[in-house]
Chain A
Amino acid sequence: MTFVKTLSQKAWIWSFVGMFAVWLATAVYTGGKGSADVLTAALSFATFTVIVGIGQMFVITTGPGNVDLSIPSTISLSGAVAMKIMDGSNAMLAIGFAASMGCGVAVGIFNYILIRVLRIPPIIATLSSSFLILSSAIAYGRGLKIKPPPLLADFTTAQIMGIPVLAIVIILLAAVMGVVLNRTMYGRSVLAIGQNMRAAWLAGINVERIRFFTYLLSAVLAALCGFLLSGFSGGASLNMGQEYLLASIAVVVIGGTSVAGGKANVAGIWGAAMFMFLLVTMLNTFGASAGIRLIMTGLIIVAVITIAGGDEPQR
């Protein structure tokens, strides 16, 4: 009983509960037909949301006002640059990957400069940089119709017994990032800064260095997402990152990370990303329109923030 009670107090549990509920509802409606395929698809698509969700989670955890809105454009830039450099050749895979990571590092540094040197609030800084990044992608992206190298396409779409290989890799990545969050000095510092920036600074934490690494991490993960996503979807496109603006924030919040900062959960991101995909699938199965789907997503985010925020002020 106490076990169930402790479990139910963990905010992230609810994303998994929601995920199974939605999946079951869909399965019941369709009489169980294709339920396994739906899960495979959910894993495939959730993978990309999880990659950017992890970066966004670290950013949001550093405290109120911190959010990375440049994730979508970084995805597009990274995808476009990688596709153009690799030009469909397996031999160029490593160089394309390096270029993609380079995009992420550059964006991360640029975002941090705007925030730190120009003292622009992160929400404005990352929004304005996203316009610049997207313009670069447009200027650069003459060759957007290029197909990914076969090796990358195969890797990003490979499955073992219905489980996408990439999903397994990203589950491992999430596990590693969970360790980084809870068991490294960097992760501890992120949590402490999000809870009480002044206290963290007084305790001798190099707050600015931690924030820099966090924005860098988010941009690099967005670049990784762009690289893998263009392999998965047969090439890059300028709006390929679009849906990840809302999604990256939604999975963080639904996954049990506090929007007020200082409290984070990596596992919940996976649950939330699966939940979001399965929710859309369910609504599609039920024949709901795109408008209804958006409204539902919005309502769920508001509900989660309300419920999760409700148990905060217990001083």
Chain B
Amino acid sequence: MTSTKRTNGGTPLVEMRDMCIAFGGVHAVDHVSVDLYPGEVVGLLGHNGAGKSTLIKMLSGAYQADSGEILINGEKADIQNPRDARSYNIETIYQTLALADNLDAASNLFLGRELVTPLGFVDEDAMEAESRKIMARLNPNFQKFAEPVSALSGGQRQSVAIARAVYFDARILIMDEPTAALGPHETQMVSELIQQLKAEGIGIFLISHDIHDVLELCDRASVMKNGKLVGTVDVDDVTDDDLLSMIILGKKPGEAAA
């Protein structure tokens, strides 16, 4: 019983095959394969330290895999650093947010891709105007455009990081616990955003600890434990208890029953 979305998709947008990475002696990601189709949301679940962030960092260019290969649209991709990932239209919201503290929201949003005037100077007004537009969609209460992001709350900082990832027409979006610091209202807005982006055909990897969010937003879920892939399931085929037992016991529902 495979998802219709999956079979209709043809070539996957992203295929990560047999990825491995170790830090010292720790196999943070150990022979993991996941894939992602256009217009699909794939949830990544697992305990703290399961290797979720490390797995997606190999796709975002933050880490170099020890072995394994990444295919984008069926072709082998060479991702050595975050700039390479961007050239494949991969955008990432890091769990740590990765913001420059003394710069304001707009400067962070456009960091490394500043809007410039015809003379090549950074166009602060245009950047602020664009930031206001995107923020109105994400977090309408956000007003602190002129302050350094170090003066923002955790949720506000998270909004800035989300805005940065969705502004630049990503085709592949990686969201590492994007709503961890957000209030219920903002979390709801991000859920709506995810659905909207999905409808636009963007593929999304969503790392989350909230099983209900995953069941609601994702098409499939991949569960990791101790660096290994427990399995990938269609969310329509499983209950929250099934997912929970995959996370805790490290076994797929079928195996548990057997």
Residue of A nearest to B97 (CB): A199
Cross-chain contact B150 with A188 (CB below 8 angstroms) = no
Checking A189, A204, A314, A315 against B82 with a beta-carbon cut-off of 8 angstroms, the contacting residue is A204
Judged by a CB distance under 8 angstroms, whether B139 is at the interface is: no
Cross-chain contact B83 with A206 (CB below 8 angstroms) = yes
What 1/0 flags go to B50-93 for Cβ under 8 Å of A? Answer: 00000000001010000000000000000001110010000010
Checking B82, B103, B114 against A202 with a beta-carbon cut-off of 8 angstroms, the contacting residue is B82
Indicate the member of A185, A203, A262 with the most B CB atoms within 10 Å: A203
Cross-chain contact B122 with A185 (CB below 8 angstroms) = yes
Judged by a CB distance under 8 angstroms, whether A94 is at the interface is: no
Cross-chain contact B81 with A195 (CB below 8 angstroms) = no
**Cα-based distance from A204 to B103 in the complex (angstroms):** 16
A283 → chain B closest CB, angstroms? 35
Residue of A nearest to B111 (CB): A203
Checking B86, B94, B101 against A195 with a beta-carbon cut-off of 8 angstroms, the contacting residue is B101
Among B97-125, those with CB < 8 Å from A are 98-103, 107, 111-114, 116, 120-122, 124
Cross-chain contact B112 with A203 (CB below 8 angstroms) = yes
What 1/0 flags go to A163-188 for Cβ under 8 Å of B? Answer: 00000000000000001001111011
Indicate the member of A184, A188, A198, A199 with the most B CB atoms within 10 Å: A199
Cross-chain contact B150 with A203 (CB below 8 angstroms) = no
**Cα-based distance from A262 to B150 in the complex (angstroms):** 13
Checking A184, A202, A203, A204 against B122 with a beta-carbon cut-off of 8 angstroms, the contacting residue is A184
Question: Which of chain A's residues have a CB closer than 8 A to the CB of B121?
Answer: 179, 183-184
A200 → chain B closest CB, angstroms? 6
B246 → chain A closest CB, angstroms? 30
Cross-chain contact B98 with A196 (CB below 8 angstroms) = yes
Question: Which of chain B's residues have a CB closer than 8 A to the CB of A202?
Answer: 60, 62, 82, 92, 94, 98
Judged by a CB distance under 8 angstroms, whether A263 is at the interface is: yes
B76 → chain A closest CB, angstroms? 22
Cross-chain contact B111 with A205 (CB below 8 angstroms) = yes
**Cα-based distance from A109 to B188 in the complex (angstroms):** 52
Whether A192 contacts B100 in the complex (CB less than 8 A), given A185-B114, A200-B111, A204-B83, comes out as yes
B176 → chain A closest CB, angstroms? 12
Whether A196 contacts B99 in the complex (CB less than 8 A), given A185-B114, A185-B122, comes out as yes
Question: Which of chain B's residues have a CB closer than 8 A to the CB of A29?
Answer: none
Cross-chain contact A195 with B82 (CB below 8 angstroms) = no
**Cα-based distance from A130 to B94 in the complex (angstroms):** 41
B172 → chain A closest CB, angstroms? 15
**Cα-based distance from A203 to B102 in the complex (angstroms):** 15
Question: Which of chain B's residues have a CB closer than 8 A to the CB of A179?
Answer: 121
Cross-chain contact B102 with A200 (CB below 8 angstroms) = no
Question: Which of chain A's residues have a CB closer than 8 A to the CB of B122?
Answer: 182-185, 187-188
Whether A196 contacts B120 in the complex (CB less than 8 A), given A204-B82, A206-B83, comes out as no
Cross-chain contact A204 with B112 (CB below 8 angstroms) = yes
Whether A205 contacts B112 in the complex (CB less than 8 A), given A183-B122, A188-B107, comes out as yes
**Cα-based distance from A203 to B99 in the complex (angstroms):** 9
Checking A184, A189, A263, A315 against B112 with a beta-carbon cut-off of 8 angstroms, the contacting residue is A189
Question: Which of chain A's residues have a CB closer than 8 A to the CB of B101?
Answer: 195-196, 262
Question: Which of chain B's residues have a CB closer than 8 A to the CB of A203?
Answer: 82, 98, 100, 111-112, 164
**Cα-based distance from A182 to B124 in the complex (angstroms):** 10
Cross-chain contact A188 with B98 (CB below 8 angstroms) = no
B119 → chain A closest CB, angstroms? 10
B134 → chain A closest CB, angstroms? 16
B215 → chain A closest CB, angstroms? 30
A2 → chain B closest CB, angstroms? 14
Judged by a CB distance under 8 angstroms, whether A57 is at the interface is: no
**Cα-based distance from A202 to B86 in the complex (angstroms):** 10
**Cα-based distance from A183 to B114 in the complex (angstroms):** 10
Question: Which of chain A's residues have a CB closer than 8 A to the CB of B83?
Answer: 204, 206
Whether A199 contacts B82 in the complex (CB less than 8 A), given A184-B122, A185-B116, A188-B107, comes out as no
Cross-chain contact B113 with A195 (CB below 8 angstroms) = no
Question: Which of chain B's residues have a CB closer than 8 A to the CB of A282?
Answer: none
Question: Which of chain B's residues have a CB closer than 8 A to the CB of A262?
Answer: 100-102
What 1/0 flags go to B147-174 for Cβ under 8 Å of A? Answer: 0001100000000000010000000000
Cross-chain contact B150 with A191 (CB below 8 angstroms) = no
8 sampled A-B residue pairs with Cβ under 8 A:
A183-B124, A188-B107, A191-B102, A196-B99, A199-B100, A202-B82, A202-B94, A262-B102
Interface set of A (CB-CB < 8 Å, partner B): 179, 182-185, 187-189, 191-192, 195-196, 198-206, 262-263, 314-315
Interface set of B (CB-CB < 8 Å, partner A): 60, 62, 81-83, 86, 92, 94, 98-103, 107, 111-114, 116, 120-122, 124, 150-151, 164
A-B interface, 6 closest residue pairs, ranked by CB to CB distance from nearest: A199-B98, A204-B112, A203-B112, A203-B111, A192-B100, A195-B100
